[in-house]
Amino acid sequence: MQVRVGNTWRPWAHVVLLAGVLTGCSEASEGEAETSTRTSATADASGRSDGKARSGGTIGAAGSACELPVTFDIAEDWTAEAVENSPSSDGTGETEDELADLVLRQGPVALVCEVDAKPAGNIGYLRVWTGEPGDADARTVLEEFVAAEGDVSKEQYRSFQTGDLKGVEVDYLYTSELLEETQQETALAVTTPQGPVVLHLGGLDSEEHEAMLPAFELAKSSLSVG
């Protein structure tokens, strides 16, 4: 079982992420460190001077890295991996899915896929969360998702449409009590016959978030029901 970000464990995820960054920096050569310095965060993250991300392929369909109720393009060099959260026993009478429920759920949805920006030179993830079919609309699902994250503020919601698919997007600030830092985050939600889907973009800090926004915009603009 992969243990990732969730409600209670969210601050620890930032610590793990930071530790990985520091380890990577210590192993990098001086030349690599100079290469990783961004003169233009948006251009470097997208690979294009116009601020738009190049597509590195589509996920969501059967046979792709993550099989989802929707399909969308991921940015070039980003890598997708399904998150396993199926029940299994640890031998003590308790099941790992009880822990997974704490760590891998946020509000009405559960984490099912992570798209890693690290191979493209950024520190962060585009995470995909899905829920059970129901009557809740995209705005309600997204509000519950954001509220479950913890200390959030300055939420700005707006509707969007990609082809025939309509959804709701939000920008907001998340404050980590453990790290005593506040950073920008972005998420969107759509509803499908198989249930709601949330895409969430989170990074090491607000600078990384801004650099990865072209990848989020690519995913949003290519989003369709699978």
Hunting for tokens 């899915």 — which residue is that?
A: 97
pTM of the model: 0.77
Q: Is residue 78 situated within a structural domain? A: yes
Type of residue numbered 178: L
Dihedral-angle region of residue 126 (phi above 0 means left; psi in -120 to 50 means alpha; beta otherwise):
beta
Residues whose CB is less than 8 angstroms from the CB of residue 84 and which lie 6 or more positions away in sequence, other chains included:
1, 2
136-172, pLDDT tens digit by residue?
999 999 999 999 998 999 999 999 999 889 999 999 9
Q: Is residue 100 situated within a structural domain? A: yes
For the domain that residue 18 is a member of, what is the CATH number? Answer: 3.40.1000.10
Both structure tokens of 51: 């601020």
Q: Is residue 172 situated within a structural domain? A: yes
SS3 154: strand
163-200, pLDDT tens digit by residue?
889 999 999 999 987 777 899 999 999 999 999 999 99
Quote the pLDDT of residue 100.
Answer: 60
Both structure tokens of 22: 């520091």
Quote the pLDDT of residue 172.
Answer: 96
Dihedral-angle region of residue 165 (phi above 0 means left; psi in -120 to 50 means alpha; beta otherwise):
beta
Residue range of the domain that includes 47: 10-225
DSSP 8-state class, residue 124? E
Beta strand pairing status for 152-162 and 79-82?
Answer: unpaired
Q: How far apart are CA 155 and CA 198, in angstroms?
A: 16
Q: Is residue 186 situated within a structural domain? A: yes
Q: Is residue 1 situated within a structural domain? A: no
Q: How far apart are CA 16 and CA 22, in angstroms?
A: 10
Quote the pLDDT of residue 101.
Answer: 62
Q: Is residue 5 situated within a structural domain? A: no
8 Å CB contact between 179 and 10: no
Question: What proportion of the chain, given as a percentage, has pLDDT over 70?
Answer: 70
Number of structural domains, the chain? 1
Q: Is residue 46 situated within a structural domain? A: yes
Nearest Cα residue to 226 out of 73, 113, 71, 112: 71
Q: Is residue 56 situated within a structural domain? A: yes
